[in-house]
Amino acid sequence: MIPVTKKIAGRFELADRFTYIEGDLNTVDFGKNHTIATLGHILHSEGADQSKALIQKTFNALAPGGQIAIAEFVCNDNRSGPPNAAIFAVNMLVNTDKGDTFTLPEISKWLSDAGFAHVRTLEAPGPSPLILATKPA
């Protein structure tokens, strides 16, 4: 993914604004004092416990005032839809050990428990809104 990301950032003349960290999410050092971190369609494959740990690890890597942006298929509160998120949940249950899709309240709680504040959504092109939160200053 990193070569593709670098290519896209270069196309928009933004490559010098990013730091890229390669490695396994569970073992790589995320560094410190980043202004923004993205988790793009990652939580669904990791399961609830690992997703919580990943959100905490991301919080620890951000500078005060830093932002996290999460893109995910998000189920409604009673997990009955929307159809793309519900079908994707079945896909994760069949093809991963612990994967699933989650609700906005679940992800919001994980963010708050990690120390994030001002959890909110931003409508974006795609199957779900972005979930944003801020590390307090």
Q: Tell me which of 34, 41, 44, 118 is the catalytic residue.
A: 44
Strands 74-75 and 34-40, sheet pairing:
unpaired
Q: How far apart are CA 85 and CA 77, in angstroms?
A: 12
Q: Residues 62-71: pLDDT tens digits? A: 999 999 999 9
- DSSP 8-state class, residue 78: T
The pTM assigned to this predicted structure is: 0.89
The answer, yes or no, to whether residue 120 has pLDDT greater than 90, is yes
- Any idea what DSSP says for residue 17? G
**Mean pLDDT taken over the chain:** 92
44 is catalytic: yes
